[in-house]
Amino acid sequence: MPDICLYCQVHQPYRLRRYRFFDIGTDTDYFDVEANRSILRKVAAKCYLPANQLLLRMIEDSSGTFRLALSITGTVLEQLADAAPETLESFQRLVATGAVELLGETYYHSLASLADRDEFEQQVVLHRMTIHKWFGKWPTVFRNTELIYSDDLASVVAGLGFQGVLVEGAERALGWRLPNFVYEAATAPGLVVIPRNYQLSDDVGFRFSNRNWHGWPLTADRYASWIASSPGDSVHLFVDYETFGEHQWADTGIFEFLGHLPAECARRGISFVHPRDLAKRQPVDKLAFPTPTSWADTERDVTAWLGNGLQHAAQQRLYALRDRVLLSGDRRTIERWRRLTTSDHLYYMCTKWFSDGDVHKYFSPYDTPYDAFIAFMNVVEDLEQALAPQLVEQPPHLAWPGYGEMACMA
Amino acid sequence: MRVLMFGWEFPPHQAGGLATATHGLVKGLLGRRVAVTLVVPFPIAESPLPTLRLVSASGRTTFTRLRIPTPALPYTSGGEYLRDVRRELEGPRGVTVYGKDLFAEVDRLAAVASDIAAAEPHDVIHVHDWITYRAGLAARRVSGKPLVAHIHATEFDRAGDGANQEIVHREWEGMSEADAVISNSGVLKRQVVARYRIPDEKVSVVHWGVDHTHETWIGRANPLPSSPPLVLFLGRVTWQKGPDYFIEVARRVANFVPDARFVVAGTGDMLPWLIERAAALGLAKQVFFAGAVRGAEVDRAFRMARVCIMPSVSEPFGLVALESLRSGTPCIIPRTSGVAEVVHNAFKVNFWDVDEMTNKVVGILKYPELHRELSHRGLTELRAPRFSLDEAARLTETVYRSVTG
């Protein structure tokens, strides 16, 4: 009988406001404070609060057998502290039960792992300190933004002191192997790799309310039986926390499903385990990830964030500023730059599925990926001008993309 | 299936998108082996489509050599029409004008429609906009075949609150009497249902497509057009198309990108005012007035432009957007246009939001990656079968079948 390892991702970005070209040099409010607050409160009311409450009850009712892991980004913690402190407290109560393991990740839910190793390490450390500050825990298992992972990253993660890492169970890396075991990173001996069972995870995350799906309606009973009949040592279910109440609304029965899961699992002898428990197990094999994988889209690669010219241009332009941003020594500038590293900004620029009209997929505050690009580039332009006073003297039209980088190199 | 179709514009006789749209629809229908006889109010030397039977409304079934140019256009108001008539009469060429005003002209078409309906075998009658509705009704009285009224734009779209009540009445009459109505967008259908009280189930939506076999359709992205960057307005210079907003955008963009140039391609009743306005804003050197452009010139205009703006106050469809995307030219379209219902890879704005349009134009001029992505994705999107002429023709044929039983 396999064990079950449940982990949920909690994240909200700082969405940009509609920053226009003529705001550059005159306006330093990059983020839509009102929209971010109201979205956060809405998500808190629909998902975080009711789900936390339910989990708390499940933990109490199960007398210590039900457990799960959460990974909470720095950007969502900041926003909770600001706009919904009672929700933050409810997370703290949940963690205080001891049944919730907190994972490590980048503070800003960024793509720094693909752009700048120094920045990546700094953001991971920043997140670790923040988790300790709010929850008094030190994460020992790592999950990168959107489960992005490759061989290059393994040694960096191990170097930061983590014992395990969560990855996507992509066929490209697994080959004939099952995701229901733990493996060892090919490039970092001792680092345990825990692959996501995307089939069973997406049954809950994406297909739960799909009436055309053969598994509908999905009950805890049926789901537990699928897990019980799965081969392997442990089934790794990784989903967004917003699945509960936000992606899948309460009226789909998602909370009832979650609430009944521990009893249905217990009935079949399935135990819940933490990622840190799995990180202590003996890996069955080594696993190599030559190219980056992620849990996004059917491609399970990084093209959702770095798949077109807009995204590459935006990412390069942003990271080209890093040295000067840090050298400025200005706390507010550094913080704002780092908030721009949040992966969501690039995700909004994704054009992969856009023509198919599948715009809802993006949870994007923009009409089009092109609007996302313009707002982002305008903000970066403003940030750059503020960094280099000599550029402000130039008429704005001379500050073409690339100009800043050239100035930096010279 | 044989269709007797009454049109008003057909290339090369055109003032707006109706000619392009009719041409595309007919081409698509012929491709589906639907026999089309198209009746046009002007004499024409030869049919531009080999299998299309083109009949002049002079009533002759052979192609006429008689030249009877008429200045009546579907977009002009009655007053403008009379002015055009006078100009034609005073002109150096000897011209014959039949009919005293636009309505007389339209009624004259209706009068010959009966004869044509009796002579041309057909299974269904298809008419385009109010100017041909009475002709369609007359034809139905003779042949008893079902009538499909196609609506491309209503008088409210063209004239806003200054709508001509007689035209509104004729639009209502045609659509009410017809056996089925085809609207070229959802937004237009809602208007037809709400304002003209046409039953919802009687109106089908058929969005326009583009000719995938058009000679400029080579499916490659446009390389970045050379400097100075050119911003294009292409359309009739009338209230409906919002050319005044274009000039306001030009003024703002010029502040940020001083070498940008702006081209107004088209003509209409607002042109003199627009030229004065551009001069008054100190834009005489930046804004160029190209007049009406047709055929290959249209493609050339799009090729030269870095971005095309469509600030229409009202745009039941907006074929210009598809032509722009087909040329690999990024396009800014009104949020409420019909084309916005089907196209994703274009900027959608409120026509009055001059600041937002400026922001987008500057973005496209400033960031080559943005131009490249929009150009590439726009072309890729239009390549889809749902944007083909055949798809529009297929849906139209479905409407024919529903009324012929």
Bond before A389 cis per omega within 30 degrees = no
Asked whether A177 and A200 are in contact (CB, 8 A), the reply is no
pLDDT for position B347: 96
Distance, in Å, from the CA atom of A140 to the CA atom of A158, rounded to the nearest integer, reads 10
Indicate the DSSP class of residue A354.
G
Asked whether B102 and B164 are in contact (CB, 8 A), the reply is no
Nearest to A16 by CA among A341, A275, A255, A281: A341
Tens-binned pLDDT, residue by residue, of chain A (410 aa): 899 999 999 999 999 998 998 888 887 899 999 999 999 999 999 999 999 999 999 999 998 899 999 999 999 999 999 999 999 999 999 999 999 999 999 999 999 999 999 999 999 999 999 999 999 999 999 999 999 999 999 999 999 999 999 999 999 999 999 999 999 999 999 999 999 999 999 999 999 999 999 999 999 999 999 999 999 999 999 999 999 999 899 999 999 999 999 999 999 999 999 999 999 999 999 999 999 999 988 889 999 999 999 999 999 999 999 999 999 999 999 999 999 999 999 999 998 877 665 544 557 888 889 999 999 999 999 999 988 654 444 444 444 444 444 444 43
Letter string b/e over residues B293-317, b meaning 16 or more CB atoms within 10 A of that residue's CB: beeeebbebbebbbbbbbbbbbbbb
pLDDT for position A392: 44
- Asked whether residue B119 carries a pLDDT value surpassing 60, the answer given is yes
Contacts of A284 (CB under 8 A, 6+ apart): A181, A182, A183, A233
Average pLDDT over residues B366-373: 94
Chain B, residues 335-364, CB within 8 A of chain A, namely 344-348, 355-356, 358-360, 362-363
pLDDT for position A317: 96
Among residues A101, A105, A119, A146, the one annotated as catalytic is A146
Question: What global pTM score does this model have?
Answer: 0.85
Q: Tokens at residue A132, please?
A: 């300790």
Distance, in Å, from the CA atom of A364 to the CA atom of B359, rounded to the nearest integer, reads 19
Identity of residue A145:
T
Identity of residue B299:
D
Taking the CA of residue B192 as centre, how many other CA atoms within 13 Å lie in the half-sphere pointing to its CB?
33
Quick one: A376 exposed, middle or buried, by C-beta within 10 A (0-12, 13-18, 19+)?
buried
Nearest to B157 by CA among B132, B133, B197, B192: B192
- For testing contact with chain B, the best of A355, A359, A366, A379 (most B CBs within 10 A): A355
How far is the CA of B240 from the CAs of A137, B43, B159, B161, B177, in angstroms? 64, 29, 7, 11, 27
Q: Tokens at residue A284, please?
A: 């069955």
- Asked whether residue B60 carries a pLDDT value surpassing 60, the answer given is no
Scanning A150-253, the segments in alpha helix (DSSP H) are 151-159, 171-174, 198-205, 220-228
ipTM of the complex: 0.81
Q: Tokens at residue B214, please?
A: 């058009």
Helix (H), strand (E) at residue B170: helix B165-177
pLDDT tens track for B5-37: 998 877 777 666 788 888 899 999 999 999 999
Q: Nearest CA of chain A to the CA of B366: how many Å?
A: 7
Distance, in Å, from the CA atom of A133 to the CA atom of A120, rounded to the nearest integer, reads 20
CB contact under 8 A, A22 and B358: yes
pLDDT for position A22: 86
Distance, in Å, from the CA atom of B285 to the CA atom of B251, rounded to the nearest integer, reads 12
Tell me phi and psi for residue B30, to 5 degrees: -60, -35
Distance, in Å, from the CA atom of A47 to the CA atom of A241, rounded to the nearest integer, reads 8
Distance, in Å, from the CA atom of B161 to the CA atom of A165, rounded to the nearest integer, reads 66
**Which of A21, A310, A397 is nearest residue B373 as measured by Cβ atoms?**
A310
- Asked whether residue B73 carries a pLDDT value surpassing 60, the answer given is no
Q: Tokens at residue B330, please?
A: 């990024």
pLDDT for position A7: 97
Quick one: A214 exposed, middle or buried, by C-beta within 10 A (0-12, 13-18, 19+)?
exposed
Asked whether B8 and B71 are in contact (CB, 8 A), the reply is no
Report how many Cβ contacts below 8 Å link chain A to chain B: 82
Nearest to A240 by CA among A104, A128, A147, A364: A147
Average pLDDT over residues B326-349: 94
Asked whether A164 and A191 are in contact (CB, 8 A), the reply is yes
CB contact under 8 A, B370 and A310: yes
Q: Nearest CA of chain A to the CA of B318: how many Å?
A: 18
- For testing contact with chain B, the best of A351, A358, A364, A384 (most B CBs within 10 A): A351
pLDDT for position B105: 76
Identity of residue B395:
L
Backbone torsion region of residue A385, taken as left when φ is above 0, otherwise alpha when ψ lies between -120 and 50, otherwise beta: alpha
Nearest to B301 by CA among B251, B207, B235: B235
Distance, in Å, from the CA atom of A142 to the CA atom of A192, rounded to the nearest integer, reads 10
Asked whether B393 and B337 are in contact (CB, 8 A), the reply is no
Chain B, residues 95-114, CB within 8 A of chain A, namely none
pLDDT for position B7: 87
How far is the CA of A329 from the CAs of A126, A299, A326, A379, B138, in angstroms? 17, 40, 6, 19, 82
Q: CB count, 10 Å around CB of A213?
A: 13
| Chain A residues whose beta carbon lies within 8 Å of the beta carbon of residue B256 | 21-22, 396-397
Q: Tokens at residue A178, please?
A: 């099952």
Q: Tokens at residue A250, please?
A: 């309460």
pLDDT for position B226: 65
Q: Nearest CA of chain A to the CA of B194: how many Å?
A: 27
**Which of A351, A368, A374 is nearest residue B359 as measured by Cβ atoms?**
A374
Residue scoring higher pLDDT (B218 or B173): B173
Q: Tokens at residue B211, please?
A: 């000719």
Q: Tokens at residue A366, please?
A: 């923009």
DSSP helix/strand/coil, A41? helix
Q: Tokens at residue B364, please?
A: 């496209």
How far is the CA of A343 from the CAs of A111, A293, A393, B97, in angstroms? 6, 15, 32, 67
Contacts of B290 (CB under 8 A, 6+ apart): B263, B264, B265, B266, B301
| Chain A residues whose beta carbon lies within 8 Å of the beta carbon of residue B350 | none
Identity of residue A218:
L
Instruction: Please state the separation of Cα A279 from the chain's center in Å.
Output: 20
Q: CB count, 10 Å around CB of A260?
A: 17
CB contact under 8 A, B363 and A310: no
CB contact under 8 A, A397 and B355: no
* Nearest residue on chain A to B343, alpha-carbon basis: A355
CB contact under 8 A, A313 and B257: no
Distance, in Å, from the CA atom of B37 to the CA atom of B29, rounded to the nearest integer, reads 11
Contacts of A129 (CB under 8 A, 6+ apart): none
Asked whether B295 and B355 are in contact (CB, 8 A), the reply is no
CB contact under 8 A, A378 and B363: yes
Distance, in Å, from the CA atom of B247 to the CA atom of B255, rounded to the nearest integer, reads 13
Nearest to A378 by CA among A30, A8, A12: A30
Question: Residues A161, A102, A139, CA angle at the centre, nearest 5°?
Answer: 15
pLDDT category of residue B41 using cuts at 50, 70 and 90: confident
pLDDT for position A402: 44
Distance, in Å, from the CA atom of B28 to the CA atom of B36, rounded to the nearest integer, reads 10
pLDDT for position A89: 97
Tell me phi and psi for residue B348, to 5 degrees: -115, 125
pLDDT for position B211: 86
Average pLDDT over residues B288-303: 87
pLDDT category of residue B67 using cuts at 50, 70 and 90: very low
Distance, in Å, from the CA atom of B87 to the CA atom of A205, rounded to the nearest integer, reads 70
Size of chain B, expressed as the number of residues it contains: 405
pLDDT category of residue B228 using cuts at 50, 70 and 90: confident
| A146 annotated active-site | yes
Q: Please provide the average confidence, as pLDDT, over all residues in chain B.
A: 85
Average pLDDT over residues B110-127: 91
Indicate the DSSP class of residue B341.
G
- Asked whether residue B92 carries a pLDDT value surpassing 80, the answer given is no
DSSP helix/strand/coil, B134? helix
Identity of residue B287:
V
From A32-46, B45-59, B171-185, B305-319, the region with the lowest mean pLDDT: B45-59
pLDDT for position B222: 53
Q: A245 - beta bridge partners?
A: A249
- For testing contact with chain A, the best of B259, B370, B382, B383 (most A CBs within 10 A): B370
Interface of A with B (CB under 8 A): 20-22, 308-310, 312-313, 351, 354-355, 357, 359, 367-371, 373-374, 377-378, 395-397, 400-401
Average pLDDT over residues B83-99: 42
Asked whether A340 and A379 are in contact (CB, 8 A), the reply is yes
**Which of A351, A397, A401 is nearest residue B256 as measured by Cβ atoms?**
A397
Give the rounded percent of residues in chain A with a pLDDT score beyond 70: 92
Helix (H), strand (E) at residue A286: strand A286-287
Q: CB count, 10 Å around CB of B93?
A: 8
* Nearest residue on chain B to A402, alpha-carbon basis: B367
Pairing of β A183-185 and β A192-196: antiparallel
- Whether B88 contacts chain A with CB within 8 A: no
| Chain A residues whose beta carbon lies within 8 Å of the beta carbon of residue B347 | 367-368, 370-371
| Chain B residues whose beta carbon lies within 8 Å of the beta carbon of residue A400 | 366
Instruction: Please state the separation of Cα A167 from the chain's center in Å.
Output: 12
